[in-house]
Structure 1
Amino acid sequence: MATIEECRAALEKLSENMQGAGGDVREAAAMDRSVSCRVTDLDVTFVGRLTGGRIEVDDTLQGPPPQKAQIRLTLSGDDLVALVDGGLNFAQAWASGRVKLEAGLRDLFRLRKLL
């Protein structure tokens, strides 16, 4: 089982990958939205913002977040690490229910370029 530190490192790596990307990925990451990443097996939620083409994690909360973020990702710690490392295909994980992504319709259309 992935640790909180490994999950935080995976989010940092994802953020670096997004910031260094070009084209459609860079455009999709150029939003300014509140984000949360709920890691179910650790019962923690990373909260922050997607801004300037990167994810800035502001806090790690025990349990679900008190406020609903504009972009919400829910998955296990192992799946988060595997997703960022390229060992897990997002579309397959989402279709099987291993990963849950919630956002407004307009944001989902933009986020699909990241996936």
Structure 2
Amino acid sequence: MATIEECRSALEKLADNMAGADGDVREAAALDRSLSCRITDLDVTFVGRLKGGRIEVLDTLQGPPAEKAQIRLTMSGGDLVAMVNGELNFAKAWGSGRVKLEAGLRDLFRLRTLL
């Protein structure tokens, strides 16, 4: 089980990876949307924005957020860390239900290139 600090660090690493991407990945991540990442085993949610190809974590909340973000991720802390470290494939984890991604249809189509 990952700690809150490890999850925050993984999100920062993901943000750096996205900011350094180019081509289709950079274009897909260039949305300006509210974002939440719920870590089920820790019962915390990181909230922020996906903006300019980068994730900006603005707050960490206990439990689920009061407001629904435009893009919502749900997973365990261990799965977040494993995905960012390249040990878990996002598409396979999403397909098996280990990771949930909820967003509007247009955003899902853009984000699918990240998979």
TM-score, normalising length from structure 2? 0.99
Structure 1 residues without counterparts, runs of 5 or longer: none
Structure 2 residues without counterparts, runs of 5 or longer: none
* CA-atom RMSD in angstroms: 0.5
What residue is the counterpart of 2:103 in the other structure? Answer: 103
The aligned amino acid for 2:111 is: L
The aligned amino acid for 1:70 is: Q
What residue is the counterpart of 2:23 in the other structure? Answer: 23
- C-alpha separation in 2, matches of 1:53 and 1:91: 20
1:52 counterpart = 2:52: yes
- C-alpha separation in 2, matches of 1:93 and 1:53: 22
* Residue identity (%): 83
1:77 counterpart = 2:85: no
- C-alpha separation in 1, matches of 2:62 and 2:102: 20
- C-alpha separation in 2, matches of 1:66 and 1:54: 23
- C-alpha separation in 2, matches of 1:25 and 1:91: 15
TM-score, normalising length from structure 1? 0.99
Deviations 1:5-47 (A, max 9, x none): 0000000000000000000000011100000000000000000
1:95, CA displacement in angstroms? 1.3
- The number of equivalent residue pairs is 115
1:92, CA displacement in angstroms? 1.1
SS of equivalent to 1:86? coil
